[in-house]
């Protein structure tokens, strides 16, 4: 049996009764959410997903690259639970090459497919690196690791010495250096380093993480601020994904013996207390929340009870609305509103991650 077929054939095993219940209930919801995504967003001719759906309107624009990265991660996470999803994954991987922009100074993923000019974001490319490495680990097709490494080189090109280092957010508007373009890039460097073992990638990861902690971490609670503009002004909004990827990168380096002013575990405790609402879900947009959930699950810090509570909240919000979800994980979809792919994909990714806890 090939590695790919063995992957598809994986089945869940019991853990604790509550953990099994959370995983089982999450697994039960995956086909519903995926079917809704396919019906509303898949464009068969282009083999791409649309960016948005609204009842009664024909919205045809392809997804922006940020949504592509989330959707790819959702397919990665849920492929083991569905032959249909497993078959969709390699098709979508190939279609994502349409976003690749070869223009100088360094090739990278553009915001939309078949780009005529240049509109590339460093954070979008970091998300693609992380998703593509996961796709490689699933499919064992080295072309996706190669593409991830190329995208990482694009990400690295966004670093300079202004503000003492760090990566910009957007290539065409180098006005700020953001947490979202630095600590996800640190994780991206680490996941490529895991397979390619190039020491410069390990060094990049630590450098980008430490720059972000020095400039954009709130010392009072360990949570992350959003960005620093080139005049040194800090925008102090706190988004859950900024803390999530900071914690993930730092925890990986702590395992190697590195030390930091505030431990990853303490940052996690602050973040989960700040954003997890129990039966109401999470006080966060889903496009951010699924990444905080992923970090906690990866590190073993989300209790079985919290997992089950979150699955049931998502069911409560999605089932009455044909498994469509709004942007927030603490309230239901509003009928008649615009539903974005990134929000549906975030739910699918979150459910898949919880379902995997039963493996």
Residue range 201-241, pLDDT digits in tens: 999 999 999 999 999 999 999 999 999 999 999 999 999 99
Burial (CB count <10 Å: 0-12, 13-18, 19+), residue 163: middle
What residues form DSSP beta bridges with 17? none
What is the percent of the chain where pLDDT is above 90?
A: 94
pLDDT, average across residues 41-70:
97
Mean pLDDT of the chain: 95
CATH number at 59 reads 1.50.10.20
More confidently predicted of 9 and 210:
210
List, in sequence order, every residue forming a beta bridge with 71; answer none if it has no partner: none
Closest CA to 158 of 183, 145, 177: 177
The residue-averaged pLDDT of 163-188 equals 98
Residue 359: per-residue pLDDT: 83
Q: How far apart are CA 324 and CA 320, in angstroms?
A: 9
Q: Are 129 and 178 in contact (CB under 8 A)?
A: no
Q: Taking 90 as the threshold, does the pLDDT of residue 11 lie above it? A: no
pTM of structure: 0.94
Rounded to 5°, angle at Cα 123 from 53 and 198: 135
- Asked if pLDDT for residue 351 goes beyond 50, the answer is yes
Taking alpha carbons only, the member of 26, 27, 141 closest to residue 89 is 141
Q: How far apart are CA 122 and CA 359, in angstroms?
A: 34
User: Under DSSP, is residue 229 helix (H, G, I), strand (E, B) or coil?
Assistant: strand
- What is the helix (H) or strand (E) element at residue 234, kind and residue range? strand 234-235
Q: Hey, what's the torsion of the CAs at 24, 303, 78, 57, to 10 degrees?
A: 100
Question: How large is the average pLDDT for residues 271-281?
Answer: 97
> How confident is the model at residue 210, as a pLDDT?
98
Query: pLDDT exceeding 70 applies to what percent of the chain?
Result: 96
Q: Residue 189's closest CA among 158, 219, 164, 214? A: 158
- State the pLDDT at residue 145: 98
Domain count, the chain: 1
Domain that holds residue 269: 3-358
Question: CA separation (Å) from 324 to 3, 37, 48?
Answer: 33, 8, 19
The C-alpha atoms of residue 152 and residue 142 are separated, in whole angstroms, by: 15
Specify the pLDDT at position 18: 83
* pLDDT confidence of residue 28: 98
Q: Give the per-residue pLDDT at 17.
A: 80
Q: Which of 64, 132, 149 is nearest to 94 (CA)?
A: 132
pLDDT surpasses 70 at 7 = no
Tell me the average pLDDT across 21-34: 98
């Amino acid at each position: 049996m090939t590695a790919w077929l063995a992957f598809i054939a994986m089945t869940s095993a019991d853990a604790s009764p509550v953990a099994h219940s959370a995983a089982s209930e999450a697994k039960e919801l995956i086909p519903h959410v995926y079917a809704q995504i396919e019906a509303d967003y898949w464009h068969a001719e282009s083999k791409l997903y649309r960016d948005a759906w609204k009842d009664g309107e024909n919205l045809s624009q392809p997804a922006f690259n940020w949504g592509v990265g989330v959707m790819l991660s959702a397919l990665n996470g849920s492929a083991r639970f569905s032959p249909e999803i497993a078959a969709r994954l390699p098709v979508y991987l190939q279609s994502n090459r349409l976003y690749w922009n070869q223009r100088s100074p360094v090739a990278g993923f553009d915001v939309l497919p078949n780009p005529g000019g240049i509109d590339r974001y460093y954070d979008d490319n970091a998300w693609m690196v992380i998703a593509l490495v996961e796709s490689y680990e699933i499919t064992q097709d080295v072309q996706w690791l190669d593409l991830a490494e190329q995208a990482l080189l694009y990400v690295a090109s966004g670093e300079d010495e202004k503000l003492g280092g760090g990566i910009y957010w957007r290539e065409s508007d180098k006005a700020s250096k953001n947490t979202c373009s630095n600590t996800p890039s640190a994780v991206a460097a680490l996941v490529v380093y895991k397979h390619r073992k190039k020491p410069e990638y390990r060094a990049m990861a630590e450098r980008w993480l430490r720059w972000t902690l020095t400039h954009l971490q709130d010392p009072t609670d360990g949570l992350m601020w959003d960005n620093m503009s080139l005049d040194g002004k800090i925008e102090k909004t706190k988004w859950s994904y900024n803390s999530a990827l900071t914690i993930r990168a730092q925890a990986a380096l702590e395992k190697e013996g590195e030390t930091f002013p505030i431990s990853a575990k303490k940052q996690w405790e602050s973040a989960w207390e700040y954003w997890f609402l129990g039966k109401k879900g999470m006080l966060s947009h889903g496009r951010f929340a699924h990444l905080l959930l992923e970090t906690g699950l990866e590190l073993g810090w989300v209790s079985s009870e919290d997992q089950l509570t979150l699955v049931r909240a998502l069911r409560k919000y999605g089932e009455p609305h044909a498994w469509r979800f709004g942007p927030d994980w603490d309230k239901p979809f509003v009928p008649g509103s615009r539903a974005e792919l990134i929000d549906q994909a975030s739910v699918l990714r979150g459910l898949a991650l919880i379902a995997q806890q039963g493996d």
